[in-house]
Amino acid sequence: MLKPDFPLRTSRLTLRAFTHDDLDDLHAIHRLPEVTRYLHWEPHDRERTRAVLEEKIACNALLDENRTLAIAVERNDTGQLIGDCMIRWLSREHSRGEIGFVFHPEHHGKGFATEAARELLRLSFEELGLHRVIGRCDARNAASAEVMRRLGMRCEAHLVESEYVKGEWADELIFAMLRREWESIPR
Ligand SMILES: CC(C)(COP(=O)(O)OP(=O)(O)OC[C@H]1O[C@@H](n2cnc3c(N)ncnc32)[C@H](O)[C@@H]1OP(=O)(O)O)[C@@H](O)C(=O)NCCC(=O)NCCS
């Protein structure tokens, strides 16, 4: 089980649960076609964002497998919500999880996604105690793949035309890290 001691601070970011006040900032991310380009959903209208936000607010703890912890990421300097992250507990028996991250394009290219995703790995390994954590992305999503490489995750699979997304076949990359690999990273 994981109920993080929110808010969690990294050097430039705060990770916390979503609240109803996040609607505008979350919608500013979810409405953009460039954000959803390699995701399995289309840009959201405001009502859809509102419904998604309700789900995220409810996902504030990982009480069991097959559940998702939704994590809002804000900049410490401005307090603005810039990222929408998650940890999914894939299997209790096999001690596996998955991380995911979506950031507003205005805040790309500054290492914020990498900084937040590193905290997702820390939570997964050190607090939930998982053995193995994966991250998946469309093979064309170079920025996402690069975040996972930068974190030290290993690209274990390139699945060719494994998904039919937005009218075309897409390849998928699967990255992974084990707890012992996380623990061996010099800090
Ligand atoms: C995936 C996504 C979060 C990656 O964002 P990003 O801005 O490329 O990643 P980061 O925030 O870690 O920034 C990395 C960049 O900042 C640079 N950078 C600057 N300061 C840095 C720092 N302190 N630490 C790490 N990188 C830093 C890096 O060199 C890198 O630049 P580069 O792309 O020119 O090599 C973003 O593209 C996104 O939200 N996409 C839409 C949603 C999506 O596809 N999500 C993934 C689903 S699988």
pLDDT at 187: 85
Instruction: Report pLDDT digits (tens) over 108-126.
Output: 999 999 999 999 999 999 9
Tell me if 38 CB under 6 Å of ligand 1.
yes
Q: Are residues 36 and 144 in contact, defined by beta-carbon separation less than 8 angstroms?
A: no
- Ligand 1 centre from 64 Cα, in Å? 30
Tell me if 82 CB under 6 Å of ligand 1.
no
- Ligand 1 centre from 118 Cα, in Å? 12
Q: Are residues 70 and 55 in contact, defined by beta-carbon separation less than 8 angstroms?
A: yes
CATH class of the domain comprising 8-183: alpha beta
Tell me if 175 CB under 6 Å of ligand 1.
no
Q: Which residues lie closer than 8 Å to 66 by C-beta, 6 or more apart?
A: 88, 89, 90
**Cα separations in angstroms, 166 against 28, 47, 115, 170:** 22, 21, 30, 9
Distance CA 89, CA 69 (A): 8
Instruction: Report pLDDT digits (tens) over 135-154.
Output: 999 999 999 999 999 999 99
By most ligand atoms within 8 Å of CB, the mutation choice from 25, 41, 110 for ligand 1 is 110
Percentage with pLDDT > 70 across the chain: 100
Instruction: Report pLDDT digits (tens) over 62-79.
Output: 999 999 999 999 999 999
